[in-house]
Amino acid sequence: MTAPEIERPVLHVLAVGIDNYRDSALALQYAAGDARAFAETLVRQGQALFAPGEVIVLPDRDATRTGIEKAFERLSARVQPSDVFVLYLAGHGRSFDGRYHFLPSEAIYENEESLRQGGLSEDDLKGLLRKVRAQKSLVVLDTCHAGAAMSLAALATTRGPEMKDAISRLMKTTGRAVLAATTDKDVAFEGYEQHGVFTYALLAGLRGAADRPERDGRRDQVISIDELSDYLQQEVPRITREKFHKEIVPMRSVEGHSFPIGGY
């Protein structure tokens, strides 16, 4: 039975997905569709848990720096401390000086500095997140490394531990639950079942696959962030190992932040 409307927290979602960058060398294939699918699935699977709130999807050319900032301004006026807020970013990510940057759709790779200046930095993202007062928040990063347009030297530093370090730093400083992919561009471009691998597993988990049985063997039909995180840790390496012959392990920071995020 659905809980009375007044008792349910309100769910707000901002989903950003970019395939068609202004610089075609940065083009991806599944990010925009994944953003739409994530927002739709999250809202659908959360109907029994949450009251409907603001749902903003910014695909491709809508996902400029200005577009993202305006979306946060809109959300800041609506989201209350008792609400739930989920931010989903799919596209290219880069690490500069150990700090995570998300590349909006107008990004152009002229040189490393152009990406640094054009990206939403760790500090930018933290500032935007501070505008949203929800005490329960989840940040999902399905961002691959912008390898196609970069030199081998730059690519080597971006694909290695530096990128994971940058995401880890972001996790520690946002104060929110974070689930993150660490996918390279080849895997992101080819995808799996018409989705990026990470988001494919994320959607399956939200639809019920992540629900763990209780001690009595029954499932409560509610997906918590802890359960979703554990499912991603299992499924993403399995899929990438079987399909790409390389094991890609997602990242997570959910300690102390778990709460129900979906049901079925």
pLDDT in tens, 126-154: 999 999 999 999 999 999 864 333 333 33
What is the secondary structure of 196-261 as a DSSP string?
Answer: -HHHHHHHHIIIIITPPP-TTS---SEEEHHHHHHHHHHHHHHHHHHHHSS----EEE-TTT--EE
Spatial separation of the C-alpha atoms in residues 226 and 240, rounded to whole Å: 22
- Both tokens of residue 196? 């990026």
Structural domain count of the chain: 1
CB 206 within 8 A of CB 45: yes
Q: Structure pTM?
A: 0.89
Mean pLDDT of 102-108: 95
What is the average pLDDT value for the chain, to the nearest integer?
A: 87
Residue 141 CA from chain centroid, whole number: 3
Residue with tokens 């990242």: 251
pLDDT score recorded for residue 161 = 64
Predicted local distance difference test score (pLDDT) of residue 242 = 95
Which CATH number does the domain housing residue 171 bear?
3.40.50.1460
Domain boundaries, position 104:
5-263
214-245, pLDDT tens digit by residue? 877 788 899 999 999 999 999 999 999 999 99
Contact indicator for 18, 90 with CB cutoff of 8 Å:
yes
Cβ-Cβ contacts under 8 Å for 196 (sequence gap 6 or more): 30, 31, 34, 90, 142, 144, 181, 183, 188
Decide which of 28 and 255 is more confident.
28
Q: Which residues pair with 127 in a beta bridge?
A: none
